Structure 1
């Protein structure tokens, strides 16, 4: 990034003869002018340190001066902004020291002598405008100077400058330290790309700008890469062609290769330019991974490469531009051009939708890190084929393996991103088709991708390699919308995992038995997952709670699990960990419920499990029983979190007690009141949640002026009473000094409340 003054200090800026006049001051450009000046003014006034990026400025150096090819209008407005703030804030001498070379202004126009002379006088003759009010015209003040020639007003550039200066005055007249901010804080920057580094000829320079419009980033990129190819191959013929590499590359860029992107455009013809650049972003990533960098350097370079627009300069800085880069690029584009109307190398989209993702790459250039890893795998495979006929089965096997591993891996950080890409690169060295499966079935774990999933892939590869038709069954389960390749739990439930780790020499009957078991568990699991929105009143969660404590720890909480959060998802429970007994025991609860589950009667079978009640004899029975009895308690947990503390169990609407929360035992009592309202008549119940750690949630049961307040003290509750409407014999151990009763279990408290309600009804 650079600033206006940085460029000036390197020699100056000169608008060349070929450029048009300054246009931002024209009446027909009012909207453009107003919008741009508003953005500049906001950037200067902003005190938070934000920087306004004005994108690319392209040009070349001539006699020390930058002659912009694109960016003339922005640069001129930046000059006027510096001039105005210096003149307004009494910094004319500082401005002149930078902008005057002793004879001429270091910012000038060569379009007309009048424009050149005007800029000279504007810099040479300091003008104090500090006393002008907002209503005054800076333009009039300039025109009143004895050095100003009225003939200059015939020059559209001069007229435009005067208009813009007045517009700047309207926005920044009250800013006393504007020039200091502009110079010292650098609130306005742009990216300068020196075209002279690419040895563009004058004819080409003129041809590029003959239309009088700013060049697009792609047009600049296209010219640069064609010039690079010309210099790199020095007239060498493209293999099998009568054209030189430069001629071939230029021809293909304008014909066959453009057709690739034209088929995927979503807008006008300009979309193709953007698609080309997005494709080069993808190819740059592939080249970066294949450049031999270690994971640390790759992570650092990926960070910088993906966060900014692709340019030949960025590729050059990364050391990617060489002969091999061009050869691989041509190979890939030629293969894509030969693919027909759309990509169809895989012939299926259940693991990786090549058509949809290629369109996403071209039209947005965006994606998650997981997306980019899969894209690398896809295009690296295409590149590895060179001019060979592609085997769709081998390609499918490769993408199936990579997608399964990527979906199971957490790689949304640049260090993990780099490790995952390098892991895929290692896998690519294993071969193709059955050779790949054979290596996967016997290889050691590699870093960068989920190790448990790698173990699962070893087992599945071994099964697929047998002659007993495991592939259709495995792929049917893998391509389920939720499992996405992670089906180890089915192998565990089927008994495959335990036996495979000890003995793999099964006969045909054993294979068939395991396949039937695998199918049995899959048919049930597919009817349950994903859970969210599938069963009303949390039937699945409550059925699991009947079997045991399936909740996973998450920070300071326990979580009831949800599909949308990787750390506490149902998939995390299904993955479990065969090395951790407690995690495996939680996954076994899923097996218990599924064993009673009927895929033909999903709701009825879950209800039957719930009706059988909560099992177990440990201390978790009570809290699980409460959640099973009242689905509203689960519904209250907006983020699915419970907080277990020494004396209470809290139900959280968010993830902390600073959000609204309730206490389980007292909330259960209030739900009991709602369910059996008639039995509790004539009592009233109000439940009070809390959103601090200083006040406790509680339930208040009342009749007229008498109240019974219940506070949690897990696994019991504390009771405070106040008022006259209690029977004398109701509380045998009532303590008059504190109006308190000894703690009781929630069930005892419920019975106490029913007794009080019965007494009140008998008195009416």
Structure 2
């Protein structure tokens, strides 16, 4: 049975007994979230007391025990009464006088004489109401009976039960009243904890601590109403109402009770927010609209999320609330330029605090934070994020989502070529609905807003699917090719959309006629879009342009392809655009762009030195897709640079042949065979040894001179790196079985048993390769080979491989091989022409083998 009861009815008619299975009292915790909730709840409760205004506190439900005993007692009493009446009647007939009345024996333990209520849900609210009633009685409020004081038990904590028993004793209350008279400045928490009855062990009980904290909060709130005379308050008639349900009336088992109770359910952040928001708009002028809004918030719109979101029930509120907060933030940032963004920044961080769903990471937002305050010219200003305009925008948006879901309306928009990879990998209406996009990226969120503000106006006379496609293609390219990586970027992007919004139904015409000022989007992209919008007026250009824009690497930025397609009169030729865009599309597919043999890099290098200059170095350009920054700092440097025609000329050399990996490898091989490049030439080396390019993890080389080219692992030259010629020599001659661990030498270099390259750092460093592991007369010898920084020759240094330089004197004399002993560095030194290095090394090894054999 479901009845509406006041709290006084519940506590008078039942002993409320919080069972063992329930958690501790939580509304008195000191966390920021609970403090904020407690402050609002207490304020509402106190206002209800002072204004004598009814406040409904929702459902409480649980088990009621003792009903059968009470029923038997009533039946037995009625039976005894019947017997006594019969005896009295029989005695009267005998003219005897019998005076027999039933008098009930009373007991001090009221819990034995009334029903026991064990709450399943509502424990926290019931405890708070009980604490409030206790405080009112303590302060002198009237009550017809004190029985209710003993009707609240915490059986889930022995120490909490003991504390409640002590606190609710009338003698204890009188002692506390006397103490307050002597120390009127003491707060209720101090009065209790400093009393002789208070046990120190109670400090460790979370329920006791929580109850004391709640008492303190209630007292603080009443102190703001200093005029209040508590003696005028009637505890029996306070207007705190609950929907009271006895689960036993549903004939359910104890097992169900345990299962339901184990949820430990408490109001979610969203439920607190919704209640608070309704309170904020209580006195709205358009009450009918608000009534409809609250209803749909709990029905149609929530059901939409329930149908669409791919998470369990417990996460539904988190997703729903997150979406509502983000909608409000988008709308308000876009439409409010008066508010300094610094005042929005904290709220931005709280709303957008986690991209992947994890309920432990979701920031609790004190609801007061949705009211933004700032000062302007000495006047304090205030803005409410969830004002009526914001709520009407939220309503429009949900209506749009429901419209798109109905009758396949989303698919009929025909957005497959615009809402697609690489920009976005899901239907745009599904953003905020997937566990991997709990809070979508800033780029995706801004694009989502662009979509929403258009589709929300679908009833407009100028609305059409074609206009929507043009708007989305334009905003998509502009958004995804602009850095939106900070709160400030996000704010600026949304405000730029606000500037564009009045022209959304004819964005092409507005851009081409210079009606729109670009205040945020990447300017080169803004200018590129003008060119494309002009060309898109011709239907023949639409498919080729869109296809080129949707390439995963080009990502909407194709100006260099348009430049390739210009004729001598600077007119754009469609046939040329198709030719170059199709070739580039294949060249920059993953299988070529990221080929282990660096086919794309070497193919372009055949034509010319194409490497763009970046951070003091030249880069081959990374084939990784990455994000916008990765693209902008790699191939896009080339596309926008003065050497981009290398790409055009390279494509022309292919003579419209079908581009394949095999074709490119053959092209590179033919180039090496026909161009007669010197083996010392940098281009020859990079073309022949792709692993030299692969060595450069960030694709960077330091070009100090034609003879001094460093292969960098990263960008800083200060880090360890290698040198081009010596590294390529190593690649050419290393043994297949050699690894970094064994570094075994090819047989031709014996008696040296080790052959590997060595690195160095800084500009003046001098890396190379070495031969080592040759031992004679108990001394180990090593040969370091470096490439000259100024000549086309190698520099050889032979020495005893001692730890300290002064002990490097060799027992071997190489002067007969034209080595010169350098006294300063303690090594034999010799310069060898590039083309003579192979012969020189073999001669040296031959001489050393003779010495070893004679030893």
TM range (shorter): 0.5 to 0.7
In 2 relative to 1, CA 759–642 (structure 1 residues): closer, same or farther, beyond 3 Å?
Answer: same
CA contact (8 A) 1:494 1:518 kept: yes
Would you say the 8 A contact 1:233–1:245 is kept in 2?
no
Q: CA deviation at 1:213?
A: 4.3
Q: Separation in 2 of the partners of 1:346 and 1:757?
A: 76
Q: Does 1:316 align with 2:371?
A: yes
| 1:593 corresponding residue in structure 2 | 650
On the 8 A contact 2:703/2:709 being kept in 1, the answer is: yes
Q: Does 1:362 align with 2:433?
A: yes
Task: Answer with 478-487 or 318-327: which moved more.
Answer: 318-327
Matched, 1:147 2:197: yes
Q: For the Cα contact (< 8 Å) 1:430–1:439, is it kept in 2?
A: yes
Deviations 1:485-535 (A, max 9, x none): 111121122226x854xxx6xxxxxx6xx2211111122111121457742
Structure 1 residue 423 displacement after superposition: 2.0
Q: Deviations over 1:76-115 (max 9, x none)?
A: 9xxxxxxxxxxxxxxxxxxxxxxx99x89xxxx9984975
State the SS of the aligned residue for 2:711. Answer: strand
Per the alignment, do residues 569 and 266 of structure 1 end up closer, same or farther by CA in structure 2, a change over 3 Å counting? closer
What per-residue deviation string (whole Å, max 9, x for no partner) do you get for residues 669-723 of structure 1? 3223227956656654433545765975442224444432123543555321235
Sort the Cα spacing of 1:750 and 1:654 in 2 relative to 1 into closer, same or farther, 3 A: same
Q: How far is the alpha carbon of 1:206 from its aligned partner?
A: 4.1
Supply the distance in 1 between the matched residues of 2:479 and 2:427 (Cα, whole angstroms): 18
Name the counterpart of 1:741: 829
User: Which segment drifts farther, 681-690 or 61-70?
Assistant: 61-70
CA separation of 1:680/1:516 partners in 2, compared to 1, >3 Å: closer, same or farther? farther
Which residue number in structure 2 is paired with residue 632 of structure 1? 691
SS across alignment from 2:507: helix
Q: RMSD between aligned alpha carbons?
A: 5.3
Gapped regions of structure 2 (runs ≥ 5): 1-9, 50-54, 58-120, 128-134, 140-148, 154-161, 177-191, 211-220, 225-237, 247-260, 352-362, 373-382, 737-745, 800-809
Q: Could you tell me which of 551, 555, 577 is aligned with 1:480?
A: 551
Alpha-carbon separation, structure 2, partners of 1:577 and 1:558: 11
Gaps (5+ residues) in structure 1? 1-15, 41-50, 77-99, 126-141, 150-157, 169-192, 197-201, 236-243, 505-510
Equivalent pair of 1:549/1:620 in contact (CA under 8 Å)? no
In 2: Cα distance, 1:73 partner to 1:256 partner: 30
Alignment partner, residue 510 of structure 2: 439
What's the offset of the Cα at 1:471? Answer: 0.5
- Once the two structures are superposed, the pairs formed by residues 329-478 of structure 1 within 5 Å of their partners are 329-340=394-405, 343-344=410-411, 346-352=413-419, 356-363=427-434, 364-385=437-458, 390-432=463-505, 435-443=506-514, 446-466=518-538, 469-478=540-549
1:99-498 map, 5 Å:
112=152, 115=163, 118=166, 147=197, 206=242, 213-235=265-287, 244-293=288-337, 297-298=340-341, 301-302=344-345, 304-308=347-351, 313-317=368-372, 318-340=383-405, 343-344=410-411, 346-352=413-419, 356-363=427-434, 364-385=437-458, 390-432=463-505, 435-443=506-514, 446-466=518-538, 469-495=540-566
Q: Please tell me whether residue 687 in structure 1 is matched to residue 687 in structure 2.
A: no
How far residue 543 of structure 1 moved from its aligned partner, in angstroms, is 2.3
Counterpart CA distance in 2 for 1:232 and 1:675 is: 84
Residues 667/328 of structure 1: CA separation in 2 closer, same or farther (3 Å cut): same
Which residue in 1 is equivalent to 2:117?
Answer: none
Q: How many residues align?
A: 625
Alignment equivalent of 1:711, drawn from 786, 806, 813: 786
Partner Cα separation in structure 1 for residue 336 and residue 601 of structure 2: 49
CA contact (8 A) 1:494 1:521 kept: yes
How far did 1:415 drift?
2.4
Whole-Å separation in 2 of the counterparts to 1:543 and 1:684: 37
Change (3 A) 1:740 1:71: farther
After superposition, the Cα gap between the structure-2 partners of 1:230 and 1:319, relative to the gap in structure 1 and judged at 3 Å, is closer
Aligned-partner Cα distance in 1 for 2:631–2:790: 28
Q: 1:667, 1:365 → 2: CA distance?
A: 48
Alpha-carbon distance change, 561 to 204 in structure 1, aligned in 2, over 3 angstroms:
farther
Residue 412 of structure 1: how far off its partner (Å) = 0.9
TM-score, normalised to structure 2's length?
Answer: 0.61
1:137 aligns with: none
- Displacement, 1:399? 0.9
Distance 1:576-1:701 versus aligned 2 partners, 3 A rule? closer
1:117 CA drift (Å): 6.7
Q: Secondary structure at the match of 1:245?
A: helix
Aligned residue for 1:57, secondary structure, equals helix
Q: Provide the residue aligned with 1:523 in structure 2.
A: 582
Distance in 1 between residues matched to 2:266 and 2:600, nearest whole Å:
61
Post-superposition CA distance 1:282-324 (Å, at most 9, x none): 3212321332316x93465255324345676444334333332
1:545-599 deviation digits (Å, cap 9, x = unpaired): 3333333444354433222455874665554489xxxx63332222233333443
Summarize the Cα distance change of 1:615–1:492 in structure 2 as closer, same or farther, 3 Å threshold.
Answer: farther
The answer for the alignment partner of 1:549 in structure 2 is 609
For 1:313 and 1:110, the matched residues in 2 are separated by 37
The answer on whether the counterparts of 1:593 and 1:609 sit within 8 Å (CA) in structure 2 is no
TM-superposed deviation, 1:644 = 4.6
Deviation (angstroms), 1:380 = 1.6
Does the CA-based 8 Å contact 1:523-1:599 persist in structure 2?
Answer: no
Contact 2:680 2:725 in 1 (8 A): no
Contact 1:638 1:653 in 2 (8 A): yes
- Of 616-625 and 385-394, more deviation after overlay is shown by 616-625
Residues 52 and 655 of structure 1, relative CA distance in 2, 3 Å threshold:
farther
Q: 1:469 to 1:229 in 2, by over 3 A?
A: farther
Q: Tell me the alpha carbon deviations over residues 304-357 of structure 1, each in whole angstroms, 9 at most, x when there is no partner.
A: 324345676444334333332233322222222222357446333332258544
- Partners of 1:403 and 1:495 in 2: how far apart? 25
